[in-house]
Amino acid sequence: MKRILMLALVGMFSAGMLSGCNTVAGAGKDMQKAGEKVEDKAKDCNDGKC
């Protein structure tokens, strides 16, 4: 019984970690895209005439 409970807990922990990694990776990609947009706008406004 203890072995089954331990395996269930390890499985739940592993699933939580994997879904957390995907969430952080997605947020990182979103931040990167936002940074690229800001960088592009900064290049466009280089002459001060935005």
Q: What is the pLDDT of residues 2-34, one digit of tens each?
A: 888 888 888 888 777 777 777 777 888 888 999
Alpha-carbon distance values, 19 to 12, 13, 30 (Å): 11, 10, 17
4: tokens are 């089954």
**For residue 6, what pLDDT is reported?**
87
Q: Work out the end-to-end distance of the chain between its first and last CA atoms, rounded to an integer number of angstroms.
A: 68
pTM for this model (two decimals): 0.52
User: For residue 50, what pLDDT band results from cuts at 50, 70 and 90?
Assistant: low
Q: Please indicate whether residue 14 or residue 38 has the higher confidence score (pLDDT).
A: 38
C-beta separation of 44 from 38 below 8 A: no
Helices and strands: H and E segment counts in the chain: 1, 0
| pLDDT at residue number 3 | 87
